[in-house]
Every structure is written in structure tokens, then in C-alpha cells.
Amino acid sequence: MTDVTLALVLPLLGAFLLPLLAHGVLRRLAVLFGPGLLALSALLLFGAWSTYESPYAIALGGFAPPLGITFYIDRLALLFALAVPLVTLLLWPGGSDEASVRRQSLTLLLAASLTGLAMSGDLFNLYVFYELAAVASYGLAAGSGSGAAFVAAFRYLLLSALGSVIALFGIALIYFKTGTLNLAQLATLSEQLANPQGLAAFAMLVIGFGVKAELFPVNGWVPEVYGAASRRVAALLAGLASKLVVLAIVRILLLVFPGEEARQLLLVLGILGVVSGELAAWQARDIARMLAWSSIGQLGVVFVAFSLPGTIGLVAGVTVALHHLVVKSALFLIAERWGGAIDGLRGAAASSWLGAALFVLFALSLLGLPPLPGFWSKFLVLSGLAEGGTTLQLLALAAILIGTVIEGAYLLRVITRLYAAPDSQAPPPPQRRSSLLASGLLASVLIGAALFINPLWLGLKDLAASGVDTSGYVETVLGSAGGQR
């Protein structure tokens, strides 16, 4: 059962070994090192997924909880953890020169820490993995080496470090009130946090961790970093990293803050994210920053979805999050060589029909055109909001619908440019073959999901039912983890 922790340890070890290995003769072999490790950890996680029966906890180092750190493994954690190596493989920055090796090492570090975020059952351990992921993404953001990338990475670092300080305050506040940071033990003590101090602690954690999840007030770094960094890094941060941080926030919400106010806080921040993100994306005139702002809007929808109570909220949230993971990674990949203004994209379809067709497919799914999965994810959120029916939820419903209209406006603007006749300017170059292959794979995932929507829905409902089972979590961690190694 400790196999699962290896999925985290291997990339972490690899991140530090890779720069040492990649010298001289070994340099050519080192190209395969990172992908090999990621494939191995994906295999391990897939094995754990296929032999999975019920949730279990792993006491790291044999120290029993609540003092020791636990990893909690259920379908939800496995699903997101499995997404990490798979998506990282698709977005792998190849190459064997020194800069590429450094980038690969940071990518491995990011993958390891994101896997940790999916599994960890300890608040401070979550903080450590969050910081690790943040440091790796500063490096990736600055990696393109232009002056703009350095300024963007520095501003990102400052905001994220400020968020960490605020999150640390929240952690200290929780420790004051309860004397523990183990999520399972906190779940048994959640009444002690059902007061203004507890809510303040939750708000601090959400704002602190929300920096990487592109949450509304702390997302100023997003367009700068995604504009300056390479598109693959942007895809990794927008598609993958933000989702794993959202998962960590959702775990904290479900276990420690079951109260209504905490959900309302997420709902309000989500609405503001949808409105501000979509409006800014509509105004953007180059494709990188348009996609960046649009991902802020989409993550607003994710937060709105997770603010819905009970199983339906978790199903809706997981669906929206996974859909956005696939679609936004693919859109950034397709746009990898489409530098420049949206107006400069004229005739892109003529130079690469496949790239343009894939872009249209993903854009339509993002909009929510049935029968693509994007429709079902938005449908789940909207029906959940309509069922809840409070004023705020109806406001969120309206915001998401209006956001979809704006989304339609700017995505169709890009699509019409793609298929327009090329003017005097040269059309953008066709996509790299590896990008086309990766986004084609993501497209087949999308179409597969559309074809098998019913079994998928049943599986997700199962997954969410075990995900919201707080007492099961507590029993698993505190009851049995001491015996399992």
C-alpha cells in the first residue's frame, strides 16, 4: 500500500538527481529520465486505482496520527493524483541542453508537490507541499529568461509569499483554537471552529492558498506570468497546478469547515472571479492573456461549484475542474506558436487545419455546447444552483450564464479569425507535431467522456459520495492508520 507514496517520492528524487545525471555521455539518456519517472508513478497510481476497494490512510514514517503525518487515499485523491503525471507527461518540456534540463527538473518538482497536495491529510504538510509547488512554479515562470518573465515571476513570488504569510496566520489561528493540524482530528473538533475566529482562519487559508488557484482578489499575477512564460508552463500552471490547490482547499472546506458561512465565502469569491475574469478576457487582444483571464473565470465557476453543499456540489466541482484541466491545457498547447495579437491569427486554419479544428472543438466544449462534456459540467453547476435557490446562488447562476455569453463572444472572435482569409501578414506557423499529438490525445479524452457520459456520471457520483463522507475519513485516519505501514 505504500506504493502510492512512491508516486510522489520518485519525481521528487528525480527532480534533484536530474541536474546531476545530465552530464557528458549521460545527457542523451537523461532526456528519458523524467518521462520515465512520471510514467512509472502514473503506473503505480493506476495500479492503486484498479486494486482500490475502500479509502485507506498511510502513516508516513510509521508515526501514528495525529502527531505523525498521514496520507489519505480515496478515489478523489487518486483521480487527481493520477491526472498529475499524465498531464505533466503531455506538457513535458523536452530537450537536452542545460536550460531544458533545469526546466525538466523544476517540472518534476512541481509534479511531486502537486501529488502531495492531492494526498496529504495534514494542514501543515499541505502548506509545505503548496510552498514547494510555488517555488517550482516561480522558477518555471522565470524560465523563459526575458526581462518581462523576471518581473512577472518576481511579482508572482511577492503575491504568493504574501499569501503564504496569510495562510500561516490561518494555520496559527487554527492551532490556537484546537491544538492540532491533522485534518481528521480537526474534523472531530470542527465545532470549536464554528465561530468568527474559525471563519477568519478559513478566509485566511482560502486567500493564502487561493493565490495559486487564481482566486478572485489574488490573481493579478495570472495574465503577466502566462503572457511572459512559455505556453507549456502556462498550461501546466493554469490547467494542472490550480486544480490540485483547489482540491486541497476543498478538503479543508469539507472536513474542517462544514458551516454555511465558509461555503458562502467561496461562492462570493467565485462569482467575482467569473465576472472579472470573463470581462477581462473579452478585453484582451492577444491569445495568451485572453486564455489566462478566461482561466480565472473558469476557476471562478469551479469555486462556485464547490460551494454547493453535499454530494452534488462535489460532483459538479470535480467535473468542472477536470473539464477545465483538459480543455485549458489543450488550448494553451494549440496556441503554443500563435504568438501575437488575435488579429494576427488570420489564415491559421489554412496552415494547420488540424490545429484549428482542435481549437474549435475545445472552445466549443469550454462554452458548453451539448453533447460535449463542458455542457454537462456547466449543467450540473447551474442545476445545483437553481435547486439551492438562495439569492446569492441565483446571482451566481446569472453570473455564470452571462459569463458564458461573454466567453462565446471572445472565443468566436478567435475562431472567425482562424478561418478568415489570410491578409498581407504571414499566417502563424503550424503547431509542433508533439503539441498536436498531445492535444489530440486530450481531444480523444474529451470525446470519450462525451460518449461514455453515463458510466462516467455514475462513477463520479460514487467518488463524490465517499469524498463527502467526513466520518469515514476520521475513522480511517484515526482508527486504523496506526496499524498500516
Partner 1 sequence: MSASIGLVFFVGAIGLSLIGIAGMLLSNHLFRMVLALAIAEAGANLLLILAGYRWDAVAPILVDGQPAQAMVDPVPQAMVLTAIVIGVGVQALALSLVIRVRQRYGTLDMRVARQCMQDELDEAAGVTPGRSQERPAGGRPLPTPIAEAGGRHD
CA distance 42 to 82: 6
* Residue 448 and residue 28 in contact, taking contact as beta carbons nearer than 8 Å: no
Q: Peptide bond before 66: cis, by omega within 30 degrees of 0?
A: yes
100 versus 164: smaller Cβ distance to partner 1:
164
Whether residue 450 contacts residue 351, with contact meaning beta carbons closer than 8 Å, is answered with no
Distances (CA, A) of 126 to 32, 79, 133, 237, 380: 30, 18, 10, 18, 29
**Grid coordinates in use for 308?**
454547493
Our CB check for partner 1 shows the closer of 123 and 460 to be 123
Q: How far is the CB of 223 from partner 1 (least distance, A)?
A: 9
What's the closest the beta carbon of residue 445 comes to partner 1, in angstroms? 30
Gap between the Cα atoms of 317 and 411, Å rounded? 23
Helix or strand run (H / E) with residue 276: helix 260-283
Residues 6+ apart with CB under 8 A from 98: 22
For residues 236 and 91, the answer to whether their CB atoms sit within 8 Å is: yes
Q: Is 444 exposed, middle or buried (0-12, 13-18, 19+ CB in 10 A)?
A: exposed
Q: Which is nearer to partner 1, 14 or 344 (CB)?
A: 344
Q: How many CB atoms lie within 10 A of CB 99?
A: 12
Residue closer to partner 1 by CB (options 196, 389) is: 196
Residues listed for the chain: 485
C-beta of 398 vs 426, nearer to partner 1? 426
Q: How far is the CB of 388 from partner 1 (least distance, A)?
A: 35
Tell me whether residue 78 or residue 284 sits nearer to partner 1 (CB atom).
284
Closest distance between partner 1 and the C-beta of residue 466, in Å? Answer: 30
CB of 161: closest distance to partner 1 in angstroms?
A: 5
Instruction: Kindly tell me which of 320 and 342 has the beta carbon lying closer to partner 1.
Output: 342
Footprint on this chain of partner 1 (rule: CB under 8 A)? 67, 124, 128, 131, 134-135, 138-139, 142, 146-148, 150-155, 157-158, 161-162, 164-165, 168-169, 171-172, 175-176, 179, 181, 224, 227-228, 283, 285-286, 288-289, 339-341, 344
- In whole angstroms, how close is the CB of 114 to partner 1 at the nearest point? 17
Judged by beta carbon, residue 163 or residue 270, the one nearer partner 1 is: 163
* Residue (60 or 326) nearer to partner 1, CB: 60
Cell 454530494 sits on residue:
311
User: Shortest approach of partner 1 to residue 182 CB, angstroms?
Assistant: 10
Q: Sign (positive/negative) of CA torsion 65, 213, 450, 310?
A: positive
Given the complex with partner 1, which of 85 and 428 has the nearer CB atom? 428
Give least dist CB 153 to partner 1, A.
6
Query: What number of other Cβ atoms are within 10 A of residue 265's Cβ?
Result: 19
Task: Give the shortest CB-291-to-partner 1 separation in angstroms.
Answer: 12
CB contact at 8 A, 184 and 477: yes
Cβ proximity to partner 1, 29 vs 172, nearer residue? 172
Task: Please answer whether residues 114 and 137 qualify as being in contact, where contact means their C-beta atoms are separated by less than 8 angstroms.
Answer: no
DSSP 238-261: IIIIHHHHHHHHHHHHHHH--SHH
- Kindly state the DSSP code that residue 477 receives in the 8-state scheme: I
Distance CA 112, CA 57 (A): 19
169 or 457, CB closer to partner 1? 169
Q: How far is the CB of 346 from partner 1 (least distance, A)?
A: 12
Q: How far is the CB of 381 from partner 1 (least distance, A)?
A: 32
Helices vs. strands in the chain: H and E counts, helices first: 21, 2
State the nearest-atom distance from the C-beta of 158 to partner 1, in Å: 6
d(CA 406, CA 281): 9
Contact 295/234 with Cβ under 8 angstroms? no
Helix (H, G, I), strand (E, B) or coil at 425: coil
φ, ψ (nearest 5 deg) of residue 434: -65, -35
What type of residue sits at position 192? Q
